[in-house]
A and B are shown apart, each in its own frame.
Chain A
Amino acid sequence: MKKLMGVLLVVLALVVGIVPLFTDCLSQGRALTTTDGKTVPMKCHWTAIAEIGAAIPLGLVGIFNITSKRKETFSTLSLLGMGLGALIIAFPTVLIGVCANPSMICNMIMKPTLIAAGTLAIAASLVVFVISVRMDRGQANIAQAAG
C-alpha cells in the first residue's frame, strides 16, 4: 500500500508540475499589456511556476515512499507530503491566485486540477501516516508479548 501511495504521489507531482504550464493563460497566448507597452504574463503563469517548486519535492517524497523501508522515514515523508499538498492548493487560491474570469482556461482547468491534485496528495500522505502508526503499534505489541 505504501508503494502504491508512493507511485500516486509521483504521478501527482508530474501533474502538478506539467499541467499548469499548458493550462495557464500565457500558454493560450494571453498576457497583460502594461501602460508603457510591455507584455507581462498574468498571475496564473506565476502560480504555474511556483507549483513546479512544490511538484519536485512531492515527486521525491513519492520516490522515497517506494524505496524506503524504515518506519520513521514514512512518518516524516507523510507529514511532508501533507504539507506539500496544502501548498499546492494554496498557490492558486490564496497565495498567488489565477485570473478572475471564470471562462478563462486557468480558472476552468488549471486551478481545479491543482486543488484536486493537492487534495489527493494530502489523502495519500494521510494513508501512509496511518500505516506507519499501525506499524509502530504492531512492533510495540510484539515487543510486549516477547517481554
Chain B
Amino acid sequence: MITLQEVTKTYSLGKGSSVTAVREVSLEIQPCEFVIVVGRSGSGKTTLLNLVGALTRPTSGSVMLDGVNLWELTDPQQSLLRSQKMGFAFQFPSLLPTLTALENVRLPSIFGKKQDSSAIEDRAVQLMQKVGLEDKLSSYPRQLSAGQQQRVVIARALMNQPEVLLADEPTSNLDEKTELEIMELFRDLHRNMGITMVMVTHTRQLISYGTRAIEMANGQIIKNGS
C-alpha cells in the first residue's frame, strides 16, 4: 500500500522565489488499484507521481510504501527498494540510445536481485514477446517507432517484477491508435499480473481504463473517486 501524508513539494526557482507544486496532499493507494491522475498542465500531477516513486524528496510530509517511510532510508536502500518494487514509464523517450531493445529491457537486472544471466535473458525475451516485439530484440531505439519504444519501456518496467508501475503521460507523444493500443496493454497487465498502477495523463477519456480517478488542480486533489 502506498500512503502519502500531508505531503508538500516546493521547488526553489532561485533569487528567493519558489513554486509549490504539491500542497499538503494526503492519499492512499491500495494494492492492485489502477489509479489514473488527471489535471491540467501545472496541476502537480507529475510531481505527485515523482513523490510516490521517491524520485523527489518532499519538502514536508511522508511517503510510505508498505509502512516504510521512503525518506528515512539511505540512498542504497531506497534505490534497492525502487529497483525491486517499482517500475517506471516516462513521457519522454527514456530508452538508452546506445543499447538494443533487449539490452534496455535487461538493464534493471543490474540493480535488482542477483540472478543467473540466462534467467535474465529469458525473462527479457518473454517480456518483449508479451509486448509484441519479439522481432525487434536487436533493434536500437532509433530504429523503433514511438509506440514501439513505449512498449519496450513497459517491458523494461516489468523486468524486476515490480509491485507498482508508475507511468507519467506514457501516451502523450503517440497517435490516437497507438495510444489506445498502449492503454489496452496497461489494462491487460493490470488484470493479468495484479500490479498496482498509477498513471498520470491530461486526457480525460483514458479515465475509463482505471479503477479510480484522481483530479488535481493547483497542487491539490480536488476529486478522488472510483
Interface residues, chain A, with chain B CB atoms under 8 Å away: 141-142, 145
Interface residues, chain B, with chain A CB atoms under 8 Å away: 137-138
A-B contact pairs, 4 of them (CB 8 A): A141-B138, A142-B138, A145-B137, A145-B138
Interface residues of chain B: helix, strand, loop or mixed (majority): loop
Q: How many A-B residue pairs have CB under 8 A?
A: 4
Question: Across the two chains, which residue of chain B brings its CB closest to A138?
Answer: B138
Bound CA–CA A145/B138 (angstroms): 9
How many Å from the CB of A121 to the closest CB on chain B? Answer: 31
**Chain A residues, CB < 8 A from B137:** 145
4 closest pairs, A vs B, by CB? A145-B138, A142-B138, A145-B137, A141-B138
Question: Across the two chains, which residue of chain A brings its CB closest to B134?
Answer: A145
Bound CA–CA A141/B137 (angstroms): 12
How many Å from the CB of B36 to the closest CB on chain A? Answer: 38
**Chain B residues, CB < 8 A from A145:** 137-138
Bound CA–CA A141/B139 (angstroms): 12
Question: Across the two chains, which residue of chain A brings its CB closest to B135?
Answer: A145
How many Å from the CB of B69 to the closest CB on chain A? Answer: 47
How many Å from the CB of A137 to the closest CB on chain B? Answer: 12
Question: Across the two chains, which residue of chain B brings its CB closest to A141?
Answer: B138
**Chain B residues, CB < 8 A from A141:** 138
Bound CA–CA A145/B135 (angstroms): 8
How many Å from the CB of B124 to the closest CB on chain A? Answer: 15
How many Å from the CB of A78 to the closest CB on chain B? Answer: 26
How many Å from the CB of B175 to the closest CB on chain A? Answer: 29
How many Å from the CB of B176 to the closest CB on chain A? Answer: 32
How many Å from the CB of B17 to the closest CB on chain A? Answer: 50
Bound CA–CA A142/B137 (angstroms): 10
How many Å from the CB of B45 to the closest CB on chain A? Answer: 41
**Chain A residues, CB < 8 A from B138:** 141-142, 145
Question: Across the two chains, which residue of chain B brings its CB closest to A142?
Answer: B138
Bound CA–CA A141/B100 (angstroms): 14
**Chain B residues, CB < 8 A from A142:** 138
How many Å from the CB of B137 to the closest CB on chain A? Answer: 7
Bound CA–CA A142/B100 (angstroms): 13
How many Å from the CB of A146 to the closest CB on chain B? Answer: 9
How many Å from the CB of B101 to the closest CB on chain A? Answer: 12
How many Å from the CB of B105 to the closest CB on chain A? Answer: 16
Bound CA–CA A76/B138 (angstroms): 29
Bound CA–CA A77/B137 (angstroms): 33
Bound CA–CA A25/B59 (angstroms): 80
How many Å from the CB of A20 to the closest CB on chain B? Answer: 44
Bound CA–CA A142/B143 (angstroms): 15
Bound CA–CA A36/B34 (angstroms): 105
Bound CA–CA A145/B137 (angstroms): 9
Bound CA–CA A141/B138 (angstroms): 10
How many Å from the CB of B147 to the closest CB on chain A? Answer: 22
Bound CA–CA A76/B137 (angstroms): 32
Bound CA–CA A141/B102 (angstroms): 15
Bound CA–CA A74/B38 (angstroms): 57
How many Å from the CB of A118 to the closest CB on chain B? Answer: 35
How many Å from the CB of A119 to the closest CB on chain B? Answer: 32
How many Å from the CB of B128 to the closest CB on chain A? Answer: 12
Question: Across the two chains, which residue of chain A brings its CB closest to B137?
Answer: A145
How many Å from the CB of B125 to the closest CB on chain A? Answer: 11
Bound CA–CA A87/B31 (angstroms): 74
